[in-house]
Amino acid sequence: MIALLLRDIRLAVRAGGGFGLGLAFFLIVVVLVPFAVGPETALLSRIAPGVLWIGALLACLLSLDRIFALDREDGTLDLLATSPLPLEGVVSIKALAHWVTTGVPLVLAAPVLAVLMSLPPEGFRWLVISLLIGTPALSVIGTFGAALTVGIKRGGLLMSLLVLPLYVPTLIFGAEVARAGAEGLAIETPLVLLAALTCVTIAVLPFASAAVLRMNLR
């Protein structure tokens, strides 16, 4: 499993769908928002948590279609499906690789981009914590969407349409944690709900993704 994880990380970085592309998209979203809504610091500070979370969410979408597509094209996915390694384990490793190459860089870059959005300094910590807890759920949900569309040519748009509604609860609770933390309000309830949502997603969706893959590989 470690070898599979390292392989997927190398492929993601080599294919350009990991660190660079997601970070560039995240930066573009954050830079464009002040041009659209104006440079007013109070307004930017108020909308910063939501904008940063939306940017991270959309950045995660960019590389989802590569999770299984490349392995499907070269036959690696068929070999993995017939290997002694459970398909649920394969799905979990691929979700972890996606999070390492996409989610972790977004978490690390978030405080820097928060400065551009005039987020209060006391909100930086909660923004990072919310992304650190919530982005694994984005990767696992995205892996499920990639499994649904793995047999469809040019299924990236369809996958985005399927995945985006599933992202909404994570977006709501994650942005609320960052917003409440920036305003000095109680964050316990949204933080617990975000963590619970991530735990349930990690526990359930790998089995659903493996079941969908088995049907698509028949």
Q: Mean pLDDT over residues 196-200, rounded?
A: 97
How confident is the model over 79-89, as pLDDT tens digits?
777 778 888 98
Cα(93)–Cα(97) distance, rounded to whole angstroms?
Answer: 6
**Tokens for 56?**
């991270």
Six token digits for residue 173:
């609770």
Task: Classify burial at 36, counting beta carbons within 10 Å of its beta carbon; exposed 0-12, middle 13-18, buried 19 or more.
Answer: exposed
pLDDT digits (tens, 9 = 90+) for 29-60: 888 988 888 888 888 899 999 999 999 999 98
pLDDT surpassing 80 at residue 112: yes
Is residue 200 pLDDT above 60, yes or no?
Answer: yes
Helix (H, G, I), strand (E, B) or coil at 208: helix
Question: By the 8 A CB rule, do 98 and 143 touch?
Answer: yes
> In percent, how much of the chain has pLDDT > 90?
44
Rounded CA separation 117/202 (Å): 31
pLDDT (0 to 100) of residue 16: 54
pLDDT of 127 reads 95
- Answering whether pTM is above 0.85, one says yes
Q: What is the pLDDT of residue 73?
A: 73
> What is the pLDDT averaged over residues 123-140?
95
Identify whether the C-beta of residue 178 lies closer than 8 Å to the C-beta of residue 126. Answer: yes
Taking the C-alpha atoms of residue 130 and residue 148, their distance in angstroms, rounded to an integer, is: 27
Instruction: Check pLDDT > 90 for residue 214.
Output: no
Is pLDDT above 60 for 211?
yes
Length of the chain, please?
Answer: 218
Give CA–CA dist 97/10, Å, rounded: 9
Residue ranges per structural domain of the chain: 2-216
Closest CA to 31 of 44, 42, 17, 19: 44
Identity (one letter) of the amino acid at 162? L
Give residue 75's pLDDT.
Answer: 73
Q: Note the pLDDT tens digit of each residue in 139-166.
A: 999 999 988 888 777 667 788 888 999 9
Would you state the structure tokens that stand for residue 204, as one six-digit string? 């359930």
The encoded tokens of residue 1 equal 């499993």
